[in-house]
Structure 1
Amino acid sequence: MNLASLRIITTNIKQLVQFYEKITGLTAHWSTADFAELHLGSFNLAIGSTLTMSLFGKDFAEPASNKSVTIEFLVKNVDEDYDRIKDALAEIVQEPTTMPWGNRSLLFRDPDGNLINFFSPVSPEAIKKFS
């Protein structure tokens, strides 16, 4: 089994897609005006408007209400990415910090309040784990 996609439902799809394009440096592929994807190698980050949920027959998702999931991106250098994107971040939860398990981590929120973690392994054990 492989994780194929993580989908975020939003009321402001253009704003959220532009945000993820900025932080990833990628260009989204728009299938319709209500659905876009960023291809991130091993999986896709999909962003859909609330209208896409009605196609399933019911509104199963509540935009901007996530309080339990962190979207994590393994990046080459957290500090360099922080310098590149910090002006685009409305809420920084934690500036780059080396965690006890050996990853350097940057926590911030997207425009809908979803928690994002950019991390880079820095200890020998963490580097080995992710190489």
Structure 2
Amino acid sequence: MNLVSIRIITARLNELVKFYEQITNVTAVQYTPDFAEIKTPATTLAIGSTKTLAFFGGDEIAKPAQNSSVIIEFKVDNVEKDYDRLADYLQNNIVQKPTTMPWGNKSFLFRDPDGNLVNFFTPVSAEAAAKFNNQN
């Protein structure tokens, strides 16, 4: 089994697509006006409008902008460099400047326009780096 994507349901699809394109430097593939994907070598971040919920049985299955338990994480080459690149763009949405975590990753946390928590991290300890050897 492979985890292939995480999907965000939003009432502001275009805004979220532009946001994730900006932070990842990846152009989204927008299949319909209500569905887009940011494809990375490891997995895909899908972004669907609330209109897509009709295909799953109705509006009550997921609520946009109400996540308080999931962190969307991206392993980046140099978290400090990404922080410098994005600090002005993110302004008041920064939760934590680059900080080394006890498990060996340097993490930079911020929120997307829907309030979802996003983590850019770089493994900085030998143990953390070894965990990601041979992975994207």
| Runs of 4+ displaced beyond 6 Å | none
SS of the aligned residue for 1:41 comes to coil
Q: What whole-Å deviation, never above 9, does each CA across 1:38-58 have from its counterpart, x for those lacking one?
A: 111121110010001112221
Distance of 1:105 and 1:5 partners within structure 2: 22
Which position in structure 2 is the counterpart of 1:5?
A: 5
Which position in structure 2 is the counterpart of 1:86?
A: 87
Is residue 111 of structure 2 the alignment partner of residue 109 of structure 1? yes
Distance of 2:30 and 2:66 partners within structure 1: 24
Q: For this pair of structures, how many residues does the alignment match? A: 131
Segments of structure 2 that go 5 or more residues without pairing to the other structure are none
CA RMSD of aligned residues (A): 0.9
Structure that is richer in helix per residue:
2
Which position in structure 2 is the counterpart of 1:99?
A: 101
Distance of 2:8 and 2:89 partners within structure 1: 19
SS of the aligned residue for 2:127 comes to helix
SS of the aligned residue for 2:15 comes to helix
Distance of 1:126 and 1:57 partners within structure 2: 41
Q: TM-score, normalised by structure 2?
A: 0.93
Q: TM-score, normalised by structure 1?
A: 0.96
Q: State the one-letter code of the partner of 1:70.
A: I
